[in-house]
């Protein structure tokens, strides 16, 4: 069993689950959090163990700063340190801006942007002390284009903020041997979007097909590898050229 520890938010389903199982195959210790997906979390924990890793599934709302800080502390207490923090959690809904509620608007920032600040602030001291660490934040393809987005306005602004926060964190943490990068998926068949929506989008993707979780895992593996030790503050789009 290796001593590598990863903390993945939103790790019970979709891309987060895929990352957890991929690392488990390399005998990593995987802590992951979820809010409501109890059954999926239990299944993911079992599959992590089956693939040779160790699992720690924790129910946690990382939009709560106290809960996010406690999550990091719990993982560090259990396994001594955190090598990799993957910020994959983030709610999403589609609604016209003028039909959006204050609660829905705030949820997009509280769920997609603020947790990265909370979690990195909590995890960075341990990484800085050990002079090593990898942090990967999830944005979205075309978030860097600053386009009008009438039906996903709050979500889009939050994901644009993720890119700015990623670059800022990279600059602050690079002197300590820590890399901070972003991955920006386009349309990925991860189970989060309705099949009919994915099918309708295919014709707008220059590559001509929907991406898979494996496409995202390839980028994760690279950013966690020694070959990427000098890659810091980058944003890798996994979109088949959609959104550029």
pLDDT in tens, 64-96: 999 999 999 999 999 999 999 999 988 889 999
Q: Please determine, for residue 192, whether its predicted confidence score (pLDDT) is greater than 80.
A: no
pLDDT of residue 128: 98
Q: Please determine, for residue 196, whether its predicted confidence score (pLDDT) is greater than 90.
A: no
* Helices 102-112 and 114-130, axial angle in degrees (round to 10): 10
pLDDT band per the 50, 70, 90 thresholds, residue 2 = low
152, two tokens:
């996903």
**Average pLDDT score, the chain:** 95
Cβ neighbours of 80 (radius 10 Å): 11
The mean per-residue pLDDT over the stretch 26-38 comes to 94
149, two tokens:
């987005």
The mean per-residue pLDDT over the stretch 178-184 comes to 98
The mean per-residue pLDDT over the stretch 215-243 comes to 97
Percent of the chain predicted with pLDDT > 70:
99
Express the helix, strand and coil content of the chain in percent, nearest 5 each: 50, 20, 30
The full set of domains in the chain, from first to last, is: 5-238 (3.40.50.720)
Range of lowest pLDDT (72-76, 187-191, 238-242): 187-191
Q: Please determine, for residue 1, whether its predicted confidence score (pLDDT) is greater than 50.
A: no
Cβ neighbours of 89 (radius 10 Å): 25
What is the rounded distance in angstroms from the CA atom of residue 154 to the CA atom of residue 107? 9
- Report residue 45 CA to chain centroid gap: 18
What is the rounded distance in angstroms from the CA atom of residue 124 to the CA atom of residue 121? 6
Residues with a known catalytic role: 156
Within 152-194, where are the H helices?
153-173
Q: Please determine, for residue 103, whether its predicted confidence score (pLDDT) is greater than 50.
A: yes
Report the b/e string of 209-235 with b at 16+ CB within 10 A.
Answer: ebbebebbbebbeebbeeebeeebbeb
pLDDT of residue 11: 92
Beta bridge partners of 86: 8, 136
109-164: pLDDT as tens digits: 999 999 999 999 999 999 999 999 999 999 999 999 999 999 999 999 999 999 99
């Amino acid at each position: 069993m290796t001593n590598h520890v990863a903390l993945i938010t939103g790790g019970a389903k979709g891309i987060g689950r895929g990352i957890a199982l991929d690392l488990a195959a390399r005998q990593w210790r995987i802590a992951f959090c979820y809010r409501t997906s109890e059954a999926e979390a239990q299944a993911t924990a079992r599959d992590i163990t089956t693939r040779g890793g160790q699992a720690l599934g924790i129910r946690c709302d990382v939009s709560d700063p106290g809960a996010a800080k406690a999550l990091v502390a719990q993982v560090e207490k259990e396994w001594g340190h955190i090598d990799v923090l993957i910020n994959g959690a983030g709610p999403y809904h589609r609604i016209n801006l003028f039909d959006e509620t204050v609660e829905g608007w705030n949820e997009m920032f509280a769920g997609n942007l603020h947790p990265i600040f909370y979690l990195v602030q909590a995890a960075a001291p341990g990484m800085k002390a050990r002079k090593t660490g990898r942090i990967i934040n999830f944005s979205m393809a075309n978030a860097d284009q600053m386009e009008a987005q009438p039906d996903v306005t709050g979500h889009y602004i939050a994901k644009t903020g993720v890119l700015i926060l990623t670059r800022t964190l990279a600059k602050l943490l690079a002197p300590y041997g820590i890399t901070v990068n972003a991955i920006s998926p386009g349309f990925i068949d991860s189970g989060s979007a309705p099949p009919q929506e994915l099918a309708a989008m295919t014709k707008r993707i220059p590559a001509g097909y929907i991406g898979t979780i494996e496409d995202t895992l390839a980028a994760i593996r690279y950013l966690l590898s020694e070959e990427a030790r000098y890659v810091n503050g980058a944003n890798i789009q996994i979109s088949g050229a959609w959104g550029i």
